[in-house]
């Protein structure tokens, strides 16, 4: 258990810094506490290729989610150092702050600020789950509020690769070692508060009731119906009735909605349908019933970079054979989805999760699969670095931040 | 605030005992801590008429619910003493233990054991809401576990009258001071546990889900539909998802159901329909979803005694005029419903609740209405005592416990 910005998080950050420095890296920290361990390349005018993920965890573990991505980056740095490989663009291994969002919800905060998705101030002001502190305060407390601007334009990278466990069982079911993650579905989180009229269960006729829990339950049922209709994922995970009692009609009910689909337009349509139904329910009760539905998180649907995907597929085919890897969609949210908003080429590699279990102490990926994953990742970095070297022969000395820019020189 | 069997409850019990003893009563305590303050009548072979209610309260008050019923009994005892009235059957004022059920749910426990509805042992073993103690333990702690059998056959009464606040606004709306409570609706409480499969919201397809909260929500919607169909009252007041998280499909959801209707057959039909729907939902998910629905409380539907109702109506008409009282049904549960199970003639008198508010510090009944209520209650006692005196002229010396027995002598 290593919640973001706790003493445990500080310990692992210090270990990360020392390990990277021992490997010859320069470690920089930005305003969000994102850590960049950079090994310079031959060319000092292009941004480095990044391998990024996170070292924070959910309250009950596990030992692979995020951590595999950062540790495989360090392992690749070690390989480069030991084998004396000379990279063109250089490599930076990133530990993004608060990916899990378990302590400061929602997650992917460090990457979201870096890409311009979330303003720095709103991220630093974010309250902890028990509302006793803020993200900014805890960042200062563990001395990881850096001076470097948390801004993709001021601290650019030329690509972002992330090795991650699948957190599902598709790879295991298909006996594959590698998933080439071609897209990540969009995720929208809502916090809903229904306000009705608290009243005695025994003496309030049905027609006079404005029962917040009944209204909330109708929305739960609707979310399931919409998911069937649109082929989407939708979940009401939390539901809370303050001061509940068996013989009291609920005057307030709070719940969450988690909607996921690979197309933003579909997510918007589902959101509209939910808001429309809330308006109908409210009108039927002559406004004695009201809904507040706030979108508290949005991880955009992202198709990953075709060239990086091609390099991952080539590396996987070479490492483990054509029948041991497959393309798939990421259902969970990841830092990579946020990083991609900065128009940086991004792709992800999945390795199998035993039994699909994640966010639990039982989370497991066999050592062999971890090794294959890191090998494919390393090979992809090498291919992309080579690609950048080719591009650079056409460049004019400007710093290359995105492939869009790179290609403009071709 | 005076939760059952706390130090506050002990204080009020001691005050009740001393006050009653000062009025010449004998105070006895039974195994459930029910207190009987008895003023002997001329005839020592018939059971006394009872005025009963409760002195415990909900966590946030109020000052009238239950308390009015016991205090009006003491006031009537004082009147009898001061005016030197000689009763035939005698009068006992009862403080029933744990009517509210706020600390040891469900309520009406003292009356339920006395009438044979609930076994003594199960009542004494009942855990407190925070599960740190039992009712029996707390009863001993405040020294109110008496020696007298808690049994209507061994400690009989010949009738039971209860003056109570309405906890609704029908009397206020009709500008009435007195409600002649002709019946009390049946109440069934259920505790439901839905067990599904906890899983990741982002990676579990709809068809594979066994979402406990979705299943629970469907039952909430069904309860409302059934209430509309049957003209019943039904409420899901509590809903709880253990270890809830916005991105976790609920593997367990717990909720309560409160069903009320004046006919037991209708309640049984509604209960059957709910169990049937649960079986359908469970089968549709191939038993990965299961429901446990336990009935945790049953306060039977009761039509009150016609003769007592006639005496109350006569007393009300004489005290405040024909347009200031009305017949009505009790929607809430009361000790009287349980007492009636012992085949004792029972009836209730309601006085208005300001704004219908109850179980809250704002609970209020005007002093004038309290006085009218106590007067009507006293007059009803006198009428019924006179009725018993008439009956006794035909009796053979046996102790008269119920009107059924009384009438057999007519």
> The domain A7-185+301-408: what is its CATH number?
3.40.630.10
Report the pLDDT value the prediction gives residue A396, as an integer from 0 to 100. Answer: 47
Q: A407: pLDDT confidence band, cut at 50, 70 and 90?
A: low
Task: Identify the bridge partners of residue B255 per DSSP, sorted by sequence position.
Answer: B192, B239
**Same-fold call for A7-185+301-408 versus A186-299:** no
Give me the residue from A167, A228, A249 closest to B237, CB to CB: A249
SS3 of chain B: helix, strand, coil, percent, to 5: 40, 20, 40
> From CA B66, how far away is CA B54, in angstroms rounded?
5
> From CA A291, how far away is CA B3, in angstroms rounded?
35
* pLDDT over 70 at A334, yes or no: yes
Report the pLDDT value the prediction gives residue A398, as an integer from 0 to 100. Answer: 41
CA distance B163 to chain A (A): 18
Longest pairwise C-alpha distance within chain A: 82
All residues at 6 or more sequence positions from B256 whose CB lies less than 8 Å from its CB, including other chains? A246, B189, B190, B191, B192, B236, B237, B238
Report the pLDDT value the prediction gives residue B391, as an integer from 0 to 100. Answer: 86
- Residue of chain A with shortest Cα separation from B106: A246
User: Per residue in A201-236, is it b (16+ CB within 10 Å) or e — as a string?
Assistant: bbbbeeeebbbbbbbbbbbbebbbebbeebebbbbb
- Residue of chain B with shortest Cα separation from A333: B202
CB pairs under 8 A between A and B: 154
Q: A395: pLDDT confidence band, cut at 50, 70 and 90?
A: low
Q: A102: pLDDT confidence band, cut at 50, 70 and 90?
A: confident
> From CA B219, how far away is CA B190, in angstroms rounded?
12
> From CA A163, how far away is CA A328, in angstroms rounded?
14
The answer to whether B202 contacts A245, with C-beta atoms less than 8 Å apart, is no
Chain A residues with beta carbon closer than 8 angstroms to that of B258: 201-202, 246-247
The answer to whether A224 contacts B211, with C-beta atoms less than 8 Å apart, is yes
The answer to whether A237 contacts B250, with C-beta atoms less than 8 Å apart, is yes
SS3 of chain A: helix, strand, coil, percent, to 5: 40, 20, 40
Chain A residues with beta carbon closer than 8 angstroms to that of B187: 202
Report the pLDDT value the prediction gives residue A1, as an integer from 0 to 100. Answer: 82
The CATH T-level fold of domain B7-185+302-408 is Aminopeptidase (3.40.630)
Give me the residue from A185, A202, A246 closest to B238, CB to CB: A246
The answer to whether B214 contacts A224, with C-beta atoms less than 8 Å apart, is yes
Residues of chain B with pLDDT under 50: 396-401, 403, 405, 408-410
Give me the residue from B224, B233, B256 closest to A202, CB to CB: B233
The answer to whether B167 contacts A220, with C-beta atoms less than 8 Å apart, is no
The answer to whether A205 contacts B235, with C-beta atoms less than 8 Å apart, is no
Interface with chain A: mutation pick from B99, B189, B217, highest number of A CBs within 10 Å: B217
Secondary structure class of A279 (helix, strand, coil): helix
Query: What is the average pLDDT score of chain A?
Result: 93
Interface with chain A: mutation pick from B187, B230, B245, B249, highest number of A CBs within 10 Å: B245
Chain B residues with beta carbon closer than 8 angstroms to that of A189: 246
Interface with chain B: mutation pick from A239, A330, A348, highest number of B CBs within 10 Å: A239
Interface with chain A: mutation pick from B164, B239, B297, highest number of A CBs within 10 Å: B239
The answer to whether A241 contacts B239, with C-beta atoms less than 8 Å apart, is yes
The total number of residues shown for chain A amounts to 410
- Please list the alpha-helical segments (H only) found in B231-263: none
The answer to whether A246 contacts B258, with C-beta atoms less than 8 Å apart, is yes
Closest CA to B333 of B41, B11, B61, B96: B96
Give me the residue from A237, A245, A247 closest to B244, CB to CB: A237
Give me the residue from A202, A214, A224 closest to B224, CB to CB: A214
Chain B residues with beta carbon closer than 8 angstroms to that of A168: 200, 203
- Residue of chain A with shortest Cα separation from B261: A202
Chain A residues with beta carbon closer than 8 angstroms to that of B244: 237-240
The answer to whether B206 contacts A216, with C-beta atoms less than 8 Å apart, is no
Q: A410: pLDDT confidence band, cut at 50, 70 and 90?
A: very low
All residues at 6 or more sequence positions from A373 whose CB lies less than 8 Å from its CB, including other chains? A68, A72, A163, A177, A178, A349, A350, A351
User: Helices B367-392 & B67-82, crossing angle to 10 degrees?
Assistant: 60
The CATH T-level fold of domain A186-299 is Alpha-Beta Plaits (3.30.70)
| Residues B185/B233, Cβ–Cβ less than 8 Å | yes
B341 DSSP assignment: G
All residues at 6 or more sequence positions from A145 whose CB lies less than 8 Å from its CB, including other chains? A29, A31, A33, A136, A139
Interface with chain B: mutation pick from A237, A242, A284, highest number of B CBs within 10 Å: A237
The answer to whether B214 contacts A221, with C-beta atoms less than 8 Å apart, is yes
The answer to whether B331 contacts A235, with C-beta atoms less than 8 Å apart, is no
Report the pLDDT value the prediction gives residue B392, as an integer from 0 to 100. Answer: 82
Interface with chain B: mutation pick from A100, A188, A201, highest number of B CBs within 10 Å: A201
The answer to whether B358 contacts A249, with C-beta atoms less than 8 Å apart, is no
- Residue of chain B with shortest Cα separation from A244: B238
| Residues B163/B50, Cβ–Cβ less than 8 Å | no
- Residue of chain B with shortest Cα separation from A256: B246
The answer to whether A245 contacts B239, with C-beta atoms less than 8 Å apart, is no
Chain A residues with beta carbon closer than 8 angstroms to that of B359: 200, 248
CA distance B195 to chain A (A): 14
- Residue of chain A with shortest Cα separation from B243: A238
CA distance B182 to chain A (A): 15
Q: Which helix (H) or strand (E) holds B10?
A: helix B7-22
User: Is it true that the peptide bond before A361 is cis, omega within 30 degrees of 0?
Assistant: no
The domain locations on chain B are 7-185+302-408, 186-299
The position carrying tokens 């539907």 is B301
The position carrying tokens 């639990």 is A360
Chain B residues with beta carbon closer than 8 angstroms to that of A247: 235, 237, 258
- Residue of chain B with shortest Cα separation from A219: B217
Give me the residue from B167, B227, B239 closest to A206, CB to CB: B227
Q: Which two tokens stand for residue A403?
A: 């492939």
The answer to whether B332 contacts A211, with C-beta atoms less than 8 Å apart, is no
The answer to whether B236 contacts A213, with C-beta atoms less than 8 Å apart, is yes
- The sign one gets for the Cα dihedral B40, B43, B48, B51 is negative
CA distance B211 to chain A (A): 9
Chain A residues with beta carbon closer than 8 angstroms to that of B333: 202
User: Is it true that the peptide bond before A62 is cis, omega within 30 degrees of 0?
Assistant: yes
Chain B residues with beta carbon closer than 8 angstroms to that of A240: 240, 244
């Amino acid at each position: 258990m290593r919640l973001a910005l706790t003493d445990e998080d500080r310990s692992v950050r210090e270990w990360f810094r020392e390990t990277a420095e021992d490997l010859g890296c320069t470690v920089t920290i930005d305003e969000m506490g994102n850590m960049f361990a950079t090994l310079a390349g031959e060319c000092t005018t292009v941004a480095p290729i990044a391998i990024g993920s996170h070292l924070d965890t959910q309250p009950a573990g596990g030992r692979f989610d995020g951590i595999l991505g950062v540790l495989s980056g360090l392992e690749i740095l070690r390989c480069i150092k030991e084998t004396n490989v000379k990279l063109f663009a250089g490599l930076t291994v990133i530990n993004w702050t608060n990916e899990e969002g378990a302590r400061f919800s929602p997650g992917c905060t460090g990457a979201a600020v870096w890409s311009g998705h979330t303003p720095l101030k709103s991220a630093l002001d974010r309250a902890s789950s028990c509302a006793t502190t803020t993200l900014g305060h805890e960042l200062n407390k563990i001395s990881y509020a850096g001076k470097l601007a948390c801004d993709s334009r001021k601290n650019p990278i030329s690509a972002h690769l992330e090795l991650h466990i699948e957190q599902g069982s598709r790879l295991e079911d298909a006996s594959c070692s590698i998933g080439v993650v071609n897209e990540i579905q969009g995720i929208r989180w809502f916090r809903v508060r229904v306000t009705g009229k608290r009243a005695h269960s025994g003496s309030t006729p049905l027609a006079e009731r404005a029962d917040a829990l009944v209204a909330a339950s109708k929305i739960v049922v609707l979310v399931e119906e919409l998911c069937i209709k649109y082929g989407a994922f939708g979940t009401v995970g939390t539901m809370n009735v303050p001061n509940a009692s068996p013989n009291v009609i609920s005057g307030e009910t709070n719940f969450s909605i988690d909607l996921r689909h690979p197309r933003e337009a579909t997510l918007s349509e589902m959101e509209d349908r939910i808001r429309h139904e809330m308006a109908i329910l409210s009108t039927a009760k002559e406004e004695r019933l009201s809904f507040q539905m706030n979108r508290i998180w949005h991880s955009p649907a992202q198709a990953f970079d075709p060239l990086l995907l091609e390099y991952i597929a080539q590396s996987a085919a070479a490492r483990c054979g054509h029948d041991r890897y497959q393309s798939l969609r990421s259902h969970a949210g990841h830092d990579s989805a946020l990083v991609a908003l900065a128009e940086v080429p991004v792709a992800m590699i999945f390795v199998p999760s035993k039994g699909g279990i994640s966010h639990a102490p039982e989370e497991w990926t066999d050592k062999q699969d971890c090794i294959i994953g890191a090998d494919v990742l390393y090979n992809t970095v090498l291919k992309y670095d080579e690609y950048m070297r080719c591009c650079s022969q056409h460049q004019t000395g400007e710093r290359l931040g995105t492939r869009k820019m790179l290609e403009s020189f071709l």
